[in-house]
Amino acid sequence: MKFLDLARVTIRSGSGGAGCVSFRREKYVEFGGPDGGDGGKGGDVWVEAVDGLNTLIDFRYQQHFRAQNGQHGMGRQRTGRNGVDVALHVPVGTEILDEDKQTILADLTAVGQRACLARGGNGGFGNVHFKSSVNQAPRRALPGQDGVERAIWLRLKLIADAGLLGLPNAGKSTFLAATSNARPKIAEYPFTTLHPSLGVVATDDDGFVLGDIHGLIEGAHGGRGIGDRFLGHVERCAVLLHLVDGTAE
């Protein structure tokens, strides 16, 4: 499975249904009053952290998510059906950012955690709401509220208890393979590790998760090598281990 830790998606919540202009029509009832129903509420857009995912690659192939609109109101004071919500399933550790990439909208750090990104529009009132003693046959109804459309960024930060840092070929992947159940690619050339790797280190207690990231070189903050964006994967770690190659000059 390909690894992707940053994705941009466009979401839109559902618009509310319009209210109905209707009047009661029944046998032997000469002047039936207004009975137009309200429109249904538009669907919301949610994001939820689920188990079993460790990449955002699915959002490379689908970048647009739209909730269902609410149904229009109907006669006999029947309210329209609410729109169906839509949910984005993301890995645990995903941050949701606004379009400016700075404002954090949500940070999902546990399985089942959810956040609403766009509320659906409310349905409009039918003409039954506008009857009064001076206007017993109102021909007025309100349209539904429009849905909200916005662009957001999904940024994955893997969750590990301890992280490995060091220069390329310092032995980070070898250390991870020797101490955990992970089997990362190991070779004698720089930047063998292109994607973060996680491994569970067994201890007398419950064990802990150890994370390995790309090699960090001088000038990475300016874009040299693979840059420094991958440092977000060790941002949540409680402990950082800096490996140094003792055989290097």
Mean pLDDT, range 94-119, rounded to an integer: 94
Select from 145, 157, 160 the least CA-distant residue to 97: 157
Query: How far apart are the C-alpha atoms of 213 and 60, rounded to whole Å?
Result: 22
CATH class of 1-156: mainly beta
Average pLDDT estimate for 129-154:
94
Work out the average pLDDT over 44-60: 92
Count the neighbouring beta carbons within 10 Å of the beta carbon of residue 102: 8
Structure-token match 């129903």, residue found: 37
Residue closest to 145 by CA, chosen among 29, 12, 39 = 39
pLDDT band at 75 (very low <50, low <70, confident <90, very high): very high
> Region 211-229: what's the mean pLDDT?
66
Predicted pLDDT of residue 193: 62
Check residue 85 and give its pLDDT. Answer: 97
Do 77 and 131 form a contact (C-beta atoms < 8 A)? no
Fold for the domain defined by 162-243? Rossmann fold (3.40.50)
Percent of the chain with pLDDT over 90: 52
Q: How far is CA 155 from the centre of its chain?
A: 9
Beta strands in 138-202 (DSSP E): 149-156, 162-166, 197-201
User: CA–CA separation, 27 vs 30, rounded Å?
Assistant: 8
**pLDDT tens profile 145-202:** 999 999 999 999 887 888 888 888 777 888 888 888 777 766 665 566 666 777 778 8
Nearest-angstrom CA–CA distance, 36 and 15 = 19
Supply 232's token pair.
């977000």
Q: 105 falls in which pLDDT band (50, 70, 90)?
A: very high
Angle at 194 between CA 213 and CA 153, to 5 degrees: 80
Q: How much is the pTM?
A: 0.81
**Measured CA angle at 205 (ends 202, 210), to 5 deg:** 40
Maximum pairwise Cα distance, the chain: 102
Domain boundaries, the chain: 1-156, 162-243
